[in-house]
Amino acid sequence: MHVYPRNMNNHTASRAAATTASAAAAVIGASGYTGQEVVRLLRAHPHIRLVAATSESERGQRVPGTALQYVAPEDVKLEADLVFTCLPHGESGAWSVRAHEAGARVVDLSADLRAGGHGAVYGVPEFWRDAIRVGSLIANPGCYPMGILFSLAPLLRAGMVDLTRTVIIDAASGVTGAGRSAKREYLFGEVADDYRAYAVGNAHRHVPEIAQALARVNGGAAPEFVFTPHLLPVRRGILETLYIPVVAGVTPLAAVSACATAYAAEPMVEIERTGLPSLRQVVGRNVMAIGFSAVSGVSAPMLVCVAAFDNLLKGAAGQAVQNANVMSGWGELEGIPL
């Protein structure tokens, strides 16, 4: 791909202009589940005009809902103000860096830049909005870390978590989280009617990202945790059940209050006053829903927390568009389904 953005090497100018002009956007790796979802959101975005979408496997086919055809990445020659890179981990970062060097504002949806390489900003506006506003290369966060970060951050900052004990995070994700590559283990005949744990014992790729996000959000003071993802026989959605050791006297109501205060100005975070969110209430919406429950019958105080969100929206594409909005100076909710 040869990216010749309009505002070459001038990200500040680009951003100033953004508030008045629409941006030309390219999606690199647009036929995977995340890429498809980015395309779907961009089609309805008031300030974005999709000008290119790449796909190796579907090259030449029509990009759904658009007049474009998928092109091979190496055949792209375009002027893009905004690039969303949705390639597999290991490939994606290099593309993003190249597009960024050529002057585009870039959101990389892979894990490649999440540790901060190449000056990438970790893209969670609810926590690091100012950095995203002045950034031009955003590392979109992983799906699983999002529910954990949003649930624990207010409690950590309020000193409610007992850092001497281990947080347990039991998570379940719909199958689109595994991508759209043709792998036998994700065939309908394998996944339907099944449920299984994978990458058990802190072996998942997201574990360092979770640790990094929790440490950052609370000045380095974060609890140890065990993270276990499971594969759910549904297409979309992540539900995470957290077992949070708390200091004495911390009630579900106190946790709810801490979150309600922390997210008072955040339209994409829904704190349940009573009850716990379920998967379906969040699928198709770019929100993070969180609730807390008391636990009876244990001596060491603990809360159960459930966080639910759409892995393709608040866990990927919706978050990416939100990041693009913030970075571009547009309304943060533009083009995002709530």
- Of 118 and 180, nearer to a second copy (C-beta) is 180
- Of 61 and 261, nearer to a second copy (C-beta) is 61
**Rounded distance between C-alpha atoms, residue 189 and residue 300, angstroms:** 43
Rule CB under 8 A: choose which of 191, 213, 288, 289 binds a second copy.
191
Q: Can residue 219 be called a binding residue for a second copy (CB under 8 A)?
A: no
The distance of closest approach from Cβ of residue 197 to a second copy in the complex, given in angstroms and rounded to an integer, is: 5
The distance of closest approach from Cβ of residue 148 to a second copy in the complex, given in angstroms and rounded to an integer, is: 14
Chain-centroid distance of CA 26 in Å reads 19
From the list 76, 90, 75, 74, the residue with the least C-alpha distance to 25 is 76
Q: Can residue 217 be called a binding residue for a second copy (CB under 8 A)?
A: no
Task: Give Cβ neighbours of residue 20 (< 8 Å, ≥ 6 apart).
Answer: none
How many chain residues interact with a second copy (CB under 8 A)? 66
Burial of 89 (0-12, 13-18, 19+ CB in 10 A): middle
**Rounded distance between C-alpha atoms, residue 9 and residue 100, angstroms:** 8
Element (H, E) at 146: helix 143-157
Q: Can residue 284 be called a binding residue for a second copy (CB under 8 A)?
A: yes
Q: For residue 241, list its beta bridge partners.
A: 170, 306
Question: For residue 87, how many other CB atoms are within 10 A of its CB?
Answer: 24
Contact (Cβ atoms closer than 8 angstroms) between residue 129 and residue 229: no
Q: Phi and psi for 75 in degrees, rounded to 5?
A: -95, 0
> Mask 5-44, x = binds a second copy (CB under 8 A)?
----------------------------x-----------
- Of 20 and 296, nearer to a second copy (C-beta) is 296
**Rounded distance between C-alpha atoms, residue 126 and residue 308, angstroms:** 17
Q: Can residue 163 be called a binding residue for a second copy (CB under 8 A)?
A: no
- Of 121 and 169, nearer to a second copy (C-beta) is 169
The distance of closest approach from Cβ of residue 98 to a second copy in the complex, given in angstroms and rounded to an integer, is: 28
Q: Can residue 62 be called a binding residue for a second copy (CB under 8 A)?
A: no
- Of 5 and 245, nearer to a second copy (C-beta) is 245
Q: Can residue 200 be called a binding residue for a second copy (CB under 8 A)?
A: yes
Burial of 62 (0-12, 13-18, 19+ CB in 10 A): exposed
Rule CB under 8 A: choose which of 19, 134, 194, 205 binds a second copy.
194
**Rounded distance between C-alpha atoms, residue 322 and residue 19, angstroms:** 15
- Name the segment binding a second copy (CB under 8 A); options: 22-30, 84-92, 219-227, 319-327: 219-227
Q: Can residue 184 be called a binding residue for a second copy (CB under 8 A)?
A: yes
Q: Can residue 168 be called a binding residue for a second copy (CB under 8 A)?
A: yes
**Rounded distance between C-alpha atoms, residue 112 and residue 91, angstroms:** 8
Q: Can residue 115 be called a binding residue for a second copy (CB under 8 A)?
A: no
Task: Give Cβ neighbours of residue 262 (< 8 Å, ≥ 6 apart).
Answer: 153, 154, 157
Chain-centroid distance of CA 175 in Å reads 16
Rule CB under 8 A: choose which of 20, 60, 67, 193 binds a second copy.
193
Catalytic residues: 143
- Of 22 and 251, nearer to a second copy (C-beta) is 251
Q: Can residue 195 be called a binding residue for a second copy (CB under 8 A)?
A: yes
Residue with tokens 């001596």: 299
Binding site for a second copy (CB under 8 A): 33, 57, 64, 165-166, 168, 170, 172, 175-176, 180-184, 186-197, 200-203, 207, 211, 224-226, 228, 230, 232-237, 239, 241, 243, 276-281, 283-284, 293-300, 302, 304, 306
